[in-house]
C-alpha cells in the first residue's frame, strides 16, 4: 500500500565483516516505511548497532546497498546526514559541557542560527524536561536525563528518520517508562520514521509497529508484533525438568501427545506449543512421570515475542549465548 | 568553503570553551614550569659562569627550554582526549552530522595552538618574574611562542594518532613517560650546546625539541641569527605538517574501523 511514498529506510543485503573475521552482518535487509516505528530486536552481537552504523553513514558495508528517504547511503552520505537523527548506544553528549551548550552546538552544526536556534533549543529543553538542568554539566545528569538529552540532540534539526540504538538500556524502570512515553509521542508524528533497536521483548512489543528479529547478522523473522505472535498457533508450554533429559526419548514421548508440536530443548528446559495448553500439561506431566522424568516446574502462556524468537532462532532470547544443539528441526 | 569555516569555528569554540571551563587545569600545568624556572634555575644559577656558556644569566637561558619542554609535555596528552571522545561516542555523533571532517581535525589543531600559545606566554611572564630578560624583544618572544606551537603540534598529532589507532590510555601515558625527559635532556634545553658531550650534540641535531630551541634562541638573542631561525623553523614546520597529515590519515583509518 505504501509503494508510492518513498520508504524511510531501505537496506538490501547488507554484509559487514570486521577485522578478525567477525561477520557482523550477513545479508541483512529491512524496509522502514514513512512515519512508522520499526523495531530491530536481537541479542548481544546480533548486528543491530552495525546496521545502524551503516545506515547512518558511520561505517561502510562490504556489500549491499541502503537508502534513507531516497538518498543512497554510500554515494550521498552528505544528504543522508541532513535527514537523519541519531541516538547511538553510547551517549555522545559532551559530559563537560552543559545540556544547553550541547544542544546549541548541535543546532549550529546543522546551520541553525539566531532566534530560530534559541527557540528550538528552548523548546527541546522544555519538552524533555531538562529546563532546570540546562545550565549544568551533563556529567551531573542522571542516566534518564542523559538519555533524554541524547534524544533531544537527535531531534534538533527535525530529522525525517530517527535512529534509536537501545534507548532504554541501563535505565531504571521509572526512567524507562518515561522514555517509552516519549518515544510513543514521537511515533505519533507522521512525518518521522523511527528505527529502534532493543534487547527487550516488551519494549519492541509495545513501541514498534513492525519489527524484525535479528540473529547472527540477518533477519530471521519480520512482521507486526501481533502478526508474529499469531503465527504461533496455540499456547506456549514450558516445562522445567529436574535433570537434563535424554532429549530423543522425551521428544518422542511428548511429540506423541495430541495437539503438541515444536518441541525445543534448552538445557533442562523444554518448550513446546499446544493447541490447548491447559489440557496438554497434565497429560504431559503424567507421561513424563511414568517414564521416570520428573518435572520441577510448569508454565503455560499465550504466545509472546520470546516464543517468536525461540521459534525462529532456535533458542530462548535471554540465553542467546548458548545455541540449542537439537530442536530447531522440530519446528513445523 | 564557508561551511568548513563556520564548522571549524564552532568546533573550535567548543574546545576552547572547555579549556576556559577548567582554569584550575591551566594553573596545574604551570606548577612544573615554575619549579624548573625558580628551583632548578636557582639551584644551577652558577652554570652560566662556565667558560663558553655564552648567556648573561642561567634563567635567561632556561626560559626557552622550559617553554618548549612544557609544550611537549602538555601536547602529549591530546590522545587522551581523542580516546575519551571515541569512547563516549561524541566523535561518532559529529561524524553522523553534516559537520565537515576537516572541521573536526582543524578544531583539534586550533585548540592545541591556542592553549600552547597561552601556556608559553604565561611561562615567559613567569620567567620575567624569575629575573629573565629577552634581548630579542617582542619579535623574539613571538618566534619562541610560534616554535613552541609547532613543536606542540608535532607531539599533539603523534599522541592523537596513537589515540586513534591504538585507543589505549596506557600507550599515551607510555609515550609521555618515554619521550619527554629524553627529548629534553638530549637537547640544549638546560645546557649550552658547546658544553654538551659530543654524542648528545649529534643526537640533538635530530631532535625536534632542539630545533625549536635553535629557532627560539636564534630570535631571542640580542643579535638575532635569522638564518638559524629560518632553517630550524623550517624543519619544525615541515615535521609538524607531516605529523598532522599522519594524524589525518589515522582519522581515516579510525573511520574504517567503526
Ligand atoms: N568496530 C568493531 N570492530 C570489530 N568488531 C565489531 C565492531 N563493532 C561490532 N563488532 C562485532 O560485530 C558483531 C555485531 O556487533 P553489533 O554491535 O552490531 O551487535 P549488537 O546487536 O548491537 O549487540 P549489542 O546488543 O550488544 O549492542 C559483534 O560480534 C561485535 O563484536
Ligand atoms: Mg548494539
Q: Whose CA is nearest to atom 31 of ligand 1?
A: A45
Pinpoint the alpha helices (H) of A133-290.
143-155, 173-187, 201-207, 225-231, 247-255, 277-290
State the pLDDT confidence band at B99, using cuts at 50, 70 and 90: very high
Q: Do A94 and B21 touch (CB under 8 A)?
A: no
Distance A49 CA to ligand 1 centre (A): 6
Q: Whose CA is nearest to atom 19 of ligand 1?
A: A45
Q: Do A108 and B95 touch (CB under 8 A)?
A: no
**In the 8-state DSSP scheme, what is residue B57?**
-
Question: CA of A5, closest CA in chain B: separation in Å?
Answer: 25
- Residue A271 in this model has a pLDDT that exceeds 90: no
**In the 8-state DSSP scheme, what is residue A13?**
E
* Strands A71-72 vs A84-87: parallel, antiparallel or unpaired: unpaired
Q: Contact, B163 vs B79, CB < 8 A?
A: yes
- Tell me what pLDDT residue B1 has: 52
Choose which residue among A47, A60, A88, A164 to substitute to test ligand 1 binding: the one with the highest number of ligand atoms within 8 A of its C-beta.
Answer: A47
- Tell me what pLDDT residue B186 has: 97
pLDDT tens, residue by residue, B18-46: 888 888 877 888 899 999 999 999 999 99
State the pLDDT confidence band at A328, using cuts at 50, 70 and 90: very low
User: Which ligand is nearest the CA of A45, by number?
Assistant: 1
Copy the grid coordinates of residue A144. Answer: 534518564
* Rg (chain A; Cα; Å): 23
CB of B256 shorter than 6 A to ligand 1: no
Burial degree of A18 (CB within 10 A; 0-12, 13-18, 19+): middle
Q: Whose CA is nearest to atom 26 of ligand 1?
A: A44
Distance A52 CA to ligand 2 centre (A): 9
pLDDT tens, residue by residue, A58-92: 999 999 999 999 999 999 999 999 999 999 998 89
For residues A183-205, average pLDDT: 91
pLDDT tens, residue by residue, A209-267: 999 999 999 999 999 988 888 777 778 888 998 888 888 888 888 888 888 888 888 88
- Residue A313 in this model has a pLDDT that exceeds 90: no
CB of A273 shorter than 6 A to ligand 1: no
Q: If you average pLDDT over every residue of chain B, what do you get?
A: 94
pLDDT tens, residue by residue, B48-88: 999 989 888 999 999 999 999 999 999 999 999 999 999 99
Distance A179 CA to ligand 1 centre (A): 24
Q: Which residues of B touch A19 (CB under 8 A)?
A: 257
The CA distance from B88 to B167, in Å, is 13
State the pLDDT confidence band at A12, using cuts at 50, 70 and 90: very high
The CA distance from B154 to B244, in Å, is 7
CB of A47 shorter than 6 A to ligand 1: yes
Q: Could you tell me the CA-to-CA distances from A306 to A166, A277, B218 in Å, in that order?
A: 18, 17, 75
CB of A44 shorter than 6 A to ligand 1: yes
Partner residue facing B92 (CB), from A84, A92, A108: A92
- Tell me what pLDDT residue A321 has: 38
* Rg (chain B; Cα; Å): 19
Q: Which residues of A touch B13 (CB under 8 A)?
A: 105
Q: Do B90 and A81 touch (CB under 8 A)?
A: no
Q: Which residues pair with A297 in a beta bridge?
A: A240
Copy the grid coordinates of residue A82. Answer: 541532513
Q: Which residues of A touch B21 (CB under 8 A)?
A: 96-97
Q: Do A109 and B21 touch (CB under 8 A)?
A: no
Question: CA of A171, closest CA in chain B: separation in Å?
Answer: 17
Q: Contact, B63 vs B37, CB < 8 A?
A: yes
Interface of B with A (CB under 8 A): 6-7, 10, 13-14, 17-18, 21-22, 87-90, 92-99, 255-258
- Tell me what pLDDT residue B62 has: 96
- Tell me what pLDDT residue A329 has: 30
CB of A42 shorter than 6 A to ligand 1: yes
Copy the grid coordinates of residue A220. Answer: 530471521
Which residue is closest to A62 within chain B, CA to CA? Answer: B256
Question: CA of A56, closest CA in chain B: separation in Å?
Answer: 6
- Tell me what pLDDT residue A5 has: 64
CB of A176 shorter than 6 A to ligand 1: no
Handedness of CA A310, A316, A322, A325 (dihedral sign): negative
* Residue of A52, A59, A103, A109 best to disrupt the B interface, most CBs of B under 10 A: A109
- Tell me what pLDDT residue A318 has: 61
Q: Which residues of B touch A57 (CB under 8 A)?
A: 95-96
CB of A45 shorter than 6 A to ligand 1: yes
The CA distance from B78 to B51, in Å, is 41
Q: Which residues of A touch B80 (CB under 8 A)?
A: none
- Residue A31 in this model has a pLDDT that exceeds 50: yes
Pinpoint the alpha helices (H) of B51-136.
58-75, 78-88, 90-95, 101-129
Handedness of CA B139, B141, B142, B147 (dihedral sign): positive
Q: Which residues of A touch B256 (CB under 8 A)?
A: 60
More reliable by pLDDT, A279 or A37 = A37
Choose which residue among A23, A48, A213 to substitute to test ligand 1 binding: the one with the highest number of ligand atoms within 8 A of its C-beta.
Answer: A48
Amino acid at each position: 500500500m505504501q509503494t508510492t511514498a518513498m520508504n524511510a529506510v531501505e537496506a538490501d543485503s547488507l554484509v559487514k565483516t570486521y577485522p578478525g573475521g567477525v561477520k557482523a552482518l550477513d545479508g541483512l535487509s529491512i524496509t522502514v516505511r514513512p512515519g512508522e516505528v520499526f523495531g530491530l530486536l536481537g541479542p548481544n552481537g546480533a548486528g543491530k548497532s552495525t546496521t545502524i552504523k551503516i545506515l547512518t553513514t558511520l561505517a561502510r558495508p562490504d556489500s549491499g546497498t541502503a537508502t534513507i528517504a531516497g538518498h543512497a547511503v554510500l554515494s550521498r552520505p552528505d544528504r543522508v546526514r541532513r535527514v537523519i537523527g541519531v541516538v547511538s548506544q553510547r551517549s555522545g553528549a559532551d559530559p563537560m559541557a552543559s545540556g544547553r551548550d550541547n544542544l546549541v552546538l548541535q543546532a549550529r552544526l546543522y546551520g541553525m542560527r539566531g532566534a530560530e536556534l534559541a527557540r528550538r533549543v528552548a523548546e527541546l529543553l522544555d519538552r524533555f524536561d531538562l529546563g532546570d538542568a540546562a545550565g549544568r554539566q551533563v556529567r551531573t545528569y542522571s542516566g534518564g536525563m542523559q538519555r533524554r538529552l541524547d534524544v533531544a540532540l537527535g531531534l534538533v534539526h527535525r530529522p525525517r528518520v530517527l535512529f534509536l540504538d537501545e534507548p532504554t538500556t541501563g535505565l531504571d524502570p521509572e526512567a524507562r517508562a518515561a522514555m517509552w512515553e516519549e518515544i510513543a509521542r514521537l511515533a505519533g508524528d507522521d512525518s518521522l520514521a523511527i528505527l529502534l533497536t532493543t534487547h527487550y521483548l516488551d519494549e519492541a512489543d509495545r513501541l514498534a509497529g513492525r519489527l524484525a528479529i535479528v540473529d547472527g547478522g540477518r533477519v530471521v523473522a519480520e512482521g507486526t508484533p501481533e502478526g508474529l505472535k499469531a503465527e504461533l498457533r496455540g499456547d506456549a508450554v514450558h516445562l522445567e525438568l529436574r535433570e537434563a533429559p535424554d532429549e530423543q526419548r522425551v521428544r518422542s514421548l511428548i511429540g506423541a501427545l495430541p495437539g503438541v508440536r515444536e518441541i525445543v530443548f534448552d538445557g533442562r528446559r523444554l518448550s513446546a506449543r499446544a493447541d490447548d495448553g491447559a489440557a496438554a500439561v497434565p497429560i504431559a506431566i503424567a507421561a513424563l512421570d511414568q517414564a521416570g522424568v520428573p518435572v520441577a516446574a510448569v508454565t503455560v502462556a499465550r504466545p509472546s515475542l520470546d516464543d517468536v524468537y525461540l521459534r525462529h532462532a532456535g533458542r530462548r532470547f535471554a540465553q542467546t549465548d548458548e545455541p540449542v544443539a537439537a530442536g530447531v528441526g522440530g519446528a513445523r | 568553503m564557508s561551511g568548513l569555516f563556520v564548522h571549524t569555528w564552532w568546533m573550535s569554540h567548543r574546545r576552547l570553551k572547555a579549556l576556559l571551563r577548567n582554569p584550575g587545569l591551566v594553573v596545574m600545568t604551570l606548577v612544573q614550569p615554575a619549579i624548573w624556572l625558580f628551583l632548578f634555575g636557582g639551584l644551577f644559577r652558577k652554570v652560566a659562569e662556565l667558560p663558553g656558556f655564552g648567556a648573561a644569566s642561567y634563567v635567561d637561558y632556561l626560559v626557552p627550554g622550559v617553554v618548549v619542554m612544557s609544550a611537549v609535555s602538555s601536547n602529549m596528552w591530546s590522545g587522551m582526549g581523542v580516546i575519551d571522545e571515541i569512547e563516549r561516542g561524541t566523535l561518532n555523533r559529529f561524524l553522523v552530522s553534516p559537520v565537515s571532517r576537516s572541521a573536526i581535525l582543524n578544531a583539534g589543531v586550533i585548540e592545541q595552538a591556542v592553549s600552547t600559545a597561552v601556556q608559553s606566554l604565561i611561562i615567559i611572564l613567569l620567567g620575567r618574574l624569575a629575573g629573565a630578560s629577552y634581548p630579542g624583544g617582542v619579535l623574539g618572544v613571538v618566534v619562541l611562542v610560534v616554535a613552541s606551537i609547532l613543536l606542540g603540534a608535532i607531539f599533539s598529532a603523534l599522541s592523537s594518532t596513537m589515540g586513534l589507532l591504538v585507543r589505549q590510555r596506557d600507550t599515551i601515558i607510555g609515550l609521555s613517560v618515554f619521550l619527554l625527559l629524553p627529548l629534553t635532556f638530549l637537547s640544549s634545553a638546560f645546557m649550552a650546546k658547546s658544553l654538551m658531550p659530543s654524542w648528545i650534540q649529534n643526537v640533538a641535531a635530530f631532535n625536534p625539541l632542539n630545533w625549536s630551541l635553535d629557532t627560539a634562541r636564534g630570535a631571542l638573542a640580542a643579535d638575532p641569527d635569522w638564518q638559524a631561525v629560518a632553517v630550524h623553523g623550517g624543519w619544525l614546520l615541515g615535521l609538524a605538517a607531516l605529523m598532522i597529515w599522519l594524524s589525518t590519515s589515522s582519522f581515516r583509518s579510525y573511520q574504517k574501523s567503526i
